[in-house]
Amino acid sequence: MRKIIVGAFVSLDGVMQAPGGPEEDRTGGFEHGGWVAGYFDDVVGAAVGEMFSAPYDLLLGRRTYDIFAAHWPHITDPSQPDYAIAEQFNRITKHVATHRPESLAWKNSRALGPDPIAALRELKKTDGPALVTQGSSELVHALLANDLVDELRVLTFPIVLGKGKHLFSDGARPVGFRLDGTKVSPNGVVIGSYVRAGAVKTGSFALEQPAPEEIERRKSLT
């Protein structure tokens, strides 16, 4: 059984768009691309390295695939920054949600087919490494809506971006997660790892016998 792990850089208000650079993704007039750079430190770098330390395949939406395919194949010199990650990304399998499978030119790229969710349900049943997302907000929204996410590895940066593509949408299926590990980097990045923990647990702090005002308040909401 393969796990799906969502890896994401997010702002305090949940934006995950264009963390890597100004021209990465200007969709919707986004003007703050590259917001991760000012907060990157050794602890953040180690967290990223840990995410990719175990065997994995990449799971990507088409926009993120195109961003990656225009960047990582061109890092081929061991002296270049990020060569170790580039070597992995170039070598491993990339599973891609796309309507244009014939245009996947990056080596070891595979289209998920006309129904990516159905394909992923079947792929999860097979033996193999974890399927790790990067970026790919629309695909992540679909994964969360269809209850396919096993782990969340979220790096939250101390910045508010105001608008942009978000990690979570209104369509996410309610589900509980358990904090499996956390660190705070010197630059204030909160690194959290969350694993599935069953259904959402609810309770109540209300009075056992509601006050008349509370009864009237509830009536006003119906």
d(CA 41, CA 46): 9
Is residue 83 within a helix (H) or strand (E), and if so which, with residue range?
helix 83-91
Q: Which residues have a Cβ under 8 Å from the Cβ of 159 and sit 6 or more positions away?
A: 11, 12, 35, 39
Q: What confidence score (pLDDT) does residue 120 get?
A: 97
Q: What confidence score (pLDDT) does residue 103 get?
A: 95
Q: How far is CA 81 from CA 77, 90, 218, in A?
A: 9, 15, 59
Q: Count of H helices and E strands in the chain?
A: 6, 8
Residue ranges of the chain whose pLDDT lies below 70: none
Continuous H helices in 92-170: 116-124, 137-145
E strands in the chain: 4-11, 56-61, 94-97, 109-111, 130-134, 151-157, 177-184, 190-196
pTM listed for this prediction: 0.94
Please provide the distance, in angstroms rounded to a whole number, between the alpha carbons at the two ends of the chain.
44
Tokens of 33: 């691309």
Q: What share of the chain is helix, strand, coil (3-state, %, to 5)?
A: 30, 25, 45
- How many separate domains does the chain show? 1
Range of the domain at 158: 4-221
What is the DSSP code (8-state) at residue 78?
T
**35: CATH:** 3.40.430.10
Q: What confidence score (pLDDT) does residue 81 get?
A: 86
User: Bridge partners of 5?
Assistant: 132, 151
d(CA 85, CA 61): 19
Q: For 99-120, how does the pLDDT look when each residue is reduced to its tens digit (9 = 90+)?
A: 999 999 999 999 999 999 999 9
Q: What confidence score (pLDDT) does residue 178 get?
A: 97
User: Bridge partners of 166?
Assistant: 15
